[in-house]
Structures are given as structure tokens and as C-alpha cells.
Amino acid sequence: MRPKIAICILNQNPANYVNAVLRAGGEPVVIGRPLTGKSPFPLIHDALQDYRIDPELPEDEMEFDGLILPGGADLNPLCYGRQDWCCHGVCDQLDQLDFHCLRHFVERGKPVMGICRGLQVINVYFGGDLYQDIGRKLRPSHRGSIEADQHHPGHAEKGSFLYGIYGEDMLINSNHHQAIRHIAESLKVVQRAPDGIVEAVENQDQSIVAVQWHPERLFQKEGPWVDGGELFSWFVNRCRDQRRLSVDTRI
């Protein structure tokens, strides 16, 4: 059985994430409202006006095996105690959706993977904060365009989830102007760019992992960079193990 994986989306196209999960053997379920308004992909409670998961939903609808927090608009800096001075596209409804879903999965010990904004949401949720802008000196190495990402090396720590998938050194992609400033105490930095920007984090048991780059845009693409599909396969397998564990617990 395919593990059911929730993807938080609000006013953006979920196709890259949905396709990546499908190719990795998972069943993607979009939570929220995609850019097209009416999604061709499975939705849960799309009619919610505030884009939250209703805590009163039947338990069977909430039995997901994993959560993906994807890229998107900048997080409202008020979430980490700062005033906004250079953020782009802040959306309080998206922040609310991400934090609500993240709390649901963390409390149940289910796997979570953050991508770009998702990494930043996870860090802030656990008490870290962000650089609202990495500055003109570093931005060209990390900020691409709508049409193309920047590519740069990333160094993974031995024993980390990324090291187990790709090894120590790899070429990754980026398209962001914000980054982790102070890492949350319950998280560990496991990958950095050559300029020191945090590119990946994990918690102690690797039930929560996140990357600043975009594996969903490196899926089975030819080039010197990593195959993002391998990361999605790793995560879907973690979610599959979670499903088996849940079934065994009920027996």
C-alpha cells in the first residue's frame, strides 16, 4: 500500500511535489488550496475558509503517514519576534496552515520533510529564527529566477540523512533570499553551502528532516547535480515504515 503523504499548498501549483511523491511510490494528498482553485489532485476539506485542518475532522481523514512542507512565500517575521523589513509575499493564512499541520504530525511522531520555506518553518516552530535577507554578497549564489535555479556545492555531515543518500559532497540547487540564522536547539545542521548558509537540518531520530534546496526540481534530471528523486524515495520509505508500525501497533 502506498503511504499517504500530506502536502501543504496555498495558492501555488503543487504539480512538482505531487509528481515527486507519486514517482517515489507515495500517495500525495494536497492540504489547502492550490493555485488553480480546484485541484486535480486529492484534497482534504478544501472548503475551509481559514485554510486550517479542522481538529474535529474524523480520525480516519487525519491518518496520514507523513507531511511535506514545501517552498513558498516568506514566513511572517513576527513568528520569530522580528519586524518585517524585506520579506516577500507574506501570507498569514499559509503560516497558520503550515504550523497547524506541523504540530499535528510532530505530536504524533510522524515523518516530516521541509523544503526551502518548509525548512524555515520547521526551524521557527522549534524556536529558531531566520535572516530576512542573506545580503547582496551571498544572494547571487542562492537566488535564481522563475525560470532557473542557482546550483552550488553542499557538504553533508557524516551520519546525516543526506550523507546516507548522497554521500558527503554534492551539487544542489537554490532559489531563496532567506536562511536560518539561529538553529533551534532540537535540530542539528547537517549540510552547509561553501559560504556557510544552512542547507539541511534534522532532528535526533531523523523523523524530521529539511533541506533549503529544491529536490522536487531535480527529479530524474540529467546533469552533475543530485537526483532529487532519491531524497523523495528515502522519505516515502520512512513514511511506509511509519504505516507498517501503525498497523502492527493496532494488531
Q: Which of 101, 116, 199, 239 is catalytic?
A: 116
Strand pairing class (198-202; 188-192): antiparallel
What cell numbers appear for 10 in the block? 496555498
- What are the C-alpha distances in Å from 4 to residues 43, 70, 77, 159? 12, 16, 31, 27
Residue 86 a catalytic site member:
no
Q: Which of 101, 202, 216, 239 is catalytic?
A: 216
Cite the beta strand spans of 144-207 per DSSP E: 150-156, 169-174, 179-182, 188-192, 198-202
Exposed/middle/buried for residue 93 (C-beta within 10 Å: 0-12, 13-18, 19+): middle
CA distance 79 to 92: 10
Residue 185 a catalytic site member:
no
CA distance 83 to 101: 25
DSSP annotation of 73: S
CA distance 55 to 6: 15
Exposed/middle/buried for residue 15 (C-beta within 10 Å: 0-12, 13-18, 19+): middle
Cite the beta strand spans of 81-194 per DSSP E: 112-115, 129-131, 150-156, 169-174, 179-182, 188-192
Residue 216 a catalytic site member:
yes
CA distance 234 to 209: 11
Q: Which of 142, 152, 177, 214 is catalytic?
A: 214
- What are the C-alpha distances in Å from 115 to residues 20, 46, 48? 13, 23, 24
Q: Which residues are catalytic?
A: 116, 214, 216
